[in-house]
A and B are shown apart, each in its own frame.
Chain A
């Protein structure tokens, strides 16, 4: 049973209380963006075997959207964090790096250079 702590109301909610919202931090490009950029935003997904950043909604609770970092091969939850960010917080990246030495995330790794 998947349990995530809602970063807003602090409730440790199990998955029937939550609604999964798919991959997080998808970048939506502004007016004048290319077709490829819009296509990638709409359809392309990382779908990683390992660390995955995703959106969740505390649907049967406070109703707010938040982010979670989770491993898709072990179902380990690294933590949850606020939705008010377009990249994972440094705190969550440090947590993952501590548990998965050598881990890199393609796009974030590029962006943070």
Chain B
């Protein structure tokens, strides 16, 4: 792999940019791999990357039904934060956030991580108590967050309306080191690094069956023929239930649509991420100037990657009352993604009833921010059979009653 650098740019400038190579290879699948990762989204690619980097396992195939990073990795609102209440969540999300800080250098790929700060607005008495509690918990966990007053909120976000028609802004939970990153670049950067380590990224190849013998996985059937492997990692977000059924077990999971949209590009007006969970909207400004806006999930099962219209209306209403200046903005695009939601709104990173078959799913509405941490932990679990970061996220926690209840702590918007 030719490294990207200022010298590479200068060199290519002198020869009409004829020397750039493809960021990753597109090989045909081999007959056997040590590890097959199903799903070339952020989490799948990150898992493969850390399998190679941390454990030297490079005979790996990453199989993708569509195109690389074309699922939720390319559909989220790119927010990165780790201000969770429960210890296991704070640990893995903080691991992820800290890995984002050095990711561009690590991958030699600019993921445009921008630690611009994230505010979660408190707009009811209940939220004030909840966020103060989270701030205290974060202090214990070593996650840097603080409770800030409405005046400080206004200082950080001049365009905000503190005295909204329905809910006033009563303060906020401020994580200064949270922010955003370019979501496609995260997938592309990992893909380039994986390909460089000799891993095969196989796109437009759908898994049609998971083969097992005596309760252990031996391979997968795909639209490009059967592939044998010693270990499988299923990292397919909204389609996790479909894949687990192929392997013969069920999941405590439901798939629903989550929507987002972007406005036309405007001049810089807000240099932080603001989440308003009571009225339910969240917004940041991309480097292109578009306001990136996240909405709500539908209440019913859905695999269509498009959501209900009335949720767009709710989101827009929330934003107009929080940021009156956006009322004149035109929306450029609106889309949906299929998120996999568990009973306690926390992910599953776990061994499964099938031996040598591992699953990483259930990130629900909060997957992007956790990509590097999730990949790091999943790789550790797959390589060594044990990972301290994933211990509490086992599939068995529902049976044992050891929930990681973030549905209240994190608010609805992840």
List residues of chain A with CB under 8 Å of any chain B CB.
1-2, 15-16, 19-20, 22-23, 35-36, 39-40, 42-49, 52, 54, 70, 72-75
Q: Is B17 an interface residue when CB atoms closer than 8 A count as contact?
A: no
Interface majority SS on A: helix, strand, loop or mixed? mixed
Task: Output the least CB separation between A70 and chain B (Å).
Answer: 8
For A36, the chain B residues whose CB sits under 8 A away are 399
27 A–B contact pairs at CB < 8 A?
A2-B308, A15-B300, A15-B308, A16-B310, A20-B299, A22-B254, A23-B301, A36-B399, A42-B343, A42-B398, A44-B251, A45-B250, A45-B251, A45-B253, A46-B250, A47-B241, A47-B254, A47-B255, A48-B241, A49-B242, A49-B303, A52-B301, A70-B300, A72-B303, A73-B304, A75-B302, A75-B304
Known contacts: A1-B309, A35-B399. The answer to whether A43 contacts B302 by CB under 8 A is no
Which of B252, B303, B398: most chain A CB closer than 10 A? B303
Choice from B239, B251, B298, B304 contacting A74 with Cβ under 8 Å: B304
Q: Which residues of B (254-272) have their CB < 8 Å from a CB of A?
A: 254-255
Known contacts: A35-B399, A42-B343. The answer to whether A1 contacts B308 by CB under 8 A is yes
Interface majority SS on B: helix, strand, loop or mixed? mixed
For A73, the chain B residues whose CB sits under 8 A away are 303-304
Task: Output the least CB separation between B348 and chain A (Å).
Answer: 11
For B254, the chain A residues whose CB sits under 8 A away are 22-23, 45, 47
List residues of chain B with CB under 8 Å of any chain A CB.
239, 241-242, 250-255, 298-304, 308-310, 343, 398-399
For A70, the chain B residues whose CB sits under 8 A away are 300
Which of A15, A46, A47, A49: most chain B CB closer than 10 A? A47
For A20, the chain B residues whose CB sits under 8 A away are 298-300
Question: With A2-B308, A44-B250, A46-B250 given, can you name 16 additional A-B contacts, CB distance below 8 Å?
Answer: A1-B309, A15-B310, A19-B299, A22-B254, A39-B399, A40-B250, A42-B343, A44-B252, A46-B241, A47-B255, A48-B241, A54-B301, A72-B255, A72-B302, A72-B304, A75-B302
